[in-house]
């Protein structure tokens, strides 16, 4: 993976330590990841788009425009078939403005009460700004919302999401197992392949 002649610096525009952990594990050493803290960005970055892709682009553009760094941002949503794609782009604030994951999960289970169709998918869009160019990478993971929480690893909706073909929820998997099939793992591998090819 050491295709770069010199290290490239990229800001990862998130304050979510779980996302940082998952993505760091998949990024080769020759890409230097900077955090928002590293560049002195302390404010909340706006996410006001009505699409997942729009939010990823918005976060990325905010960093480029205000701090001048090449950057990538991840936006993720859980799309539930029986709820017509909800919570989708509203996944973070599903149960309220305080973005409380426990409350979000409880609301989801309540909305699905009595529904037989539990099919859902996670969608991650990673938006990348390199110089003047913008790119997006999408990762999708299909599965089911189970009836109660299981497991205590991961974050967000992980305790109720069981990926297709698996008997464990994401919250019962370690980081590596989750990343192998997860939405974020898939989008990140596309990002890394792209960066490696660019560096060759
Ligand atoms: P955002 O991408 O940070 O806006 O996340 C939207 C919502 O989805 C938040 O409630 C997150 O906790 C949740 N979320 C994001 N990624 C994951 C994941 O990999 N597993 C479970 N929940 C996630």
Answer yes or no: 75 catalytic. yes
Q: Ligand 1 centroid to 180 CA: how many Å?
A: 17
Indicate whether residue 72 lines ligand 1 (CB < 6 A). no
Indicate the pLDDT class of residue 4, thresholds 50, 70 and 90: low
| Three-class DSSP category at 130 | strand
Greater model confidence, 128 or 1: 128
Indicate the pLDDT class of residue 5, thresholds 50, 70 and 90: low
Indicate the pLDDT class of residue 103, thresholds 50, 70 and 90: very high
User: Which positions ≥6 away from 128 have C-beta within 8 Å?
Assistant: 10, 60, 70, 71, 72, 134, 135, 136, 137, 191, 194
Q: Which atom of ligand 1 is nearest to the CA of 16?
A: 3
- What average pLDDT does this structure show over 94-116? 97
Exactly one of 75, 148, 174, 193 is catalytic; which is it? Answer: 75
Look up the pTM and report it.
Answer: 0.95
Q: What is the pLDDT of residue 198?
A: 86
Lowest mean pLDDT of 24-33, 102-111, 170-179, name the range: 24-33
Indicate whether residue 4 lines ligand 1 (CB < 6 A). no
Residue closest to 74 by CA, chosen among 156, 132, 153, 19 = 19
**Domain layout of the chain by residue ranges:** 8-198
Read off the pLDDT of residues 35-88 as tens digits, 9 standing for 90 and up. Answer: 999 999 999 999 999 999 999 999 999 999 999 999 999 999 999 999 999 999
DSSP run (H or E) holding 12: strand 8-12
Indicate whether residue 79 lines ligand 1 (CB < 6 A). no
Residue 35 to residue 12: CA distance in whole angstroms: 6
Indicate whether residue 14 lines ligand 1 (CB < 6 A). no
Domain over 8-198 is classified CATH 3.90.950.10: yes
């Amino acid at each position: 993976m050491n295709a770069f002649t010199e290290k490239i610096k990229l800001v990862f525009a998130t304050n979510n330590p779980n996302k940082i952990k998952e993505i760091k594990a998949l990024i080769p050493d020759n890409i230097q990841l900077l955090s928002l803290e590293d560049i002195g960005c302390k404010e909340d970055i706006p996410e006001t788009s009505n699409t997942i892709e729009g939010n990823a682009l918005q976060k990325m553009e905010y960093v480029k425009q205000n701090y001048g760094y090449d950057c990538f941002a991840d936006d993720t949503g859980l799309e539930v078939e029986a709820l017509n794609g909800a919570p989708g782009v509203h996944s973070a604030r599903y149960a309220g403005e305080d973005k409380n994951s426990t409350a979000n999960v409880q609301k989801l289970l309540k909305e699905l009460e009595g529904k037989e169709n539990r099919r859902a998918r996670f969608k991650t869009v990673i938006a990348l700004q390199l110089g003047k160019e913008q790119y997006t990478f999408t990762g999708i993971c299909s599965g089911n919302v189970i009836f109660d929480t299981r497991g205590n690893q991961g974050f967000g909706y992980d305790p109720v999401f069981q990926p297709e073909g698996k008997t464990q929820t994401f919250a019962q998997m370690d980081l590596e197992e989750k990343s192998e099939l997860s939405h974020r793992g898939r989008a990140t591998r596309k990002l890394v392949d792209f960066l490696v090819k660019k560096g060759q």
